[in-house]
Amino acid sequence: MKITSLLTYLKEELKDIPANPDNVHYTDFEGLYYILQTGLKGQLGGYHIKSPKTKDTDMELATVRNSHKLSDKERTSLSHGAAGGVKIKLFTDRILAAHRGTRKDKIAELPSQRKYFIDNDRKDFKEKYGYDMPDLTDGPEHKYEPGEGYSTIKNWLKEHGHENDFGAIRDIHHHNYDIENYYKELRNREREERFILKKSIPVNPDYLQIVIEKSPEDIGPYDDEFIEEMAPNYLKLIAKHENAFAHNRNFRDFKNYLRSKVNG
């Protein structure tokens, strides 16, 4: 089969797969510029916390399951630029079916190093004070609130006959604060998934849709400086990939914003 016939066949097959945006990648306007240039590349070799299936020669693209809308605070916990105002909806089934060599996997559990330090704290505490470290988080569903922590700790010490162990208060506080952060990371990681790539995902409306979520007036100074420098090329890239964008008000405003940078 000739290459042109093969591509036509694959495109027809792709139409039979629903364009469901099961995964989302978040980025900022600088990140979007480079995505429009090269496609969705991901991190070579994976991130610090990565899928166990990712090889050194693979790229890993961080995504979240498109199950509920994330707040800016939740996005910030994913990566530095994730709250930057750009949402890329990924048509997961289509990508896995047609983009050669691409797989999807949950990332590894939290690093064993974090768990090691928590367990080591408990061991050191018992050797120092003679009783077990209290776990005041009571599992992943109960939050340890640092602002209320000291009174909670004092009450626990009093109830268990250790009210004179003033030195234990700080150790217990730091330990439970670490545990709360551990559970928080676990909750965040549960919705994260990674695309394991051999090559970049192209900016193709068969695979994805780009949604501009932030108005130009909300763009931060760092992005604004970058956009001002790259505005002419940015406009060309958008024109090249215009059919991959959701044509909402923010998209139209963003193009006008770029034009204003070009025209002064």
Say whether both 236 and 255 belong to one domain: yes
Tens-digit pLDDT profile for residues 116-143: 788 888 899 999 999 998 888 765 545 5
Cβ atoms of 31 and 220 closer than 8 Å: no
Which of 136, 155, 189 is the last residue in one of the domains? Answer: 189
Q: Is residue 160 part of a domain?
A: yes
**Residue 1 pLDDT:** 46
Tens-digit pLDDT profile for residues 140-178: 545 566 566 678 888 888 888 888 888 888 898 888 888
**Residue 187 pLDDT:** 62
**Residue 148 pLDDT:** 66
Which of 142, 164, 189 is the last residue in one of the domains? Answer: 189
Cβ atoms of 45 and 66 closer than 8 Å: no
Say whether both 212 and 249 belong to one domain: yes
pLDDT averaged per 10 residues in sequence order, the chain, 264 residues = 52 78 93 96 85 90 83 71 89 92 78 73 91 76 62 87 86 84 66 91 96 90 88 96 97 95 84
Helices (H), the chain: 3-15, 29-38, 72-78, 92-98, 112-129, 146-159, 166-190, 221-240, 249-263
Q: Is residue 7 part of a domain?
A: no
What range defines the domain where residue 90 resides? 18-102+198-263
Return phi, psi of residue 33, to 5°: -55, -45
Say whether both 97 and 203 belong to one domain: yes
Say whether both 91 and 204 belong to one domain: yes
Task: Please tell me the total count of domains within the chain.
Answer: 2
In angstroms, the Cα distances linking 170 to 94, 182, 229 are 52, 18, 50
Say whether both 127 and 166 belong to one domain: yes
**pTM for this predicted structure:** 0.70
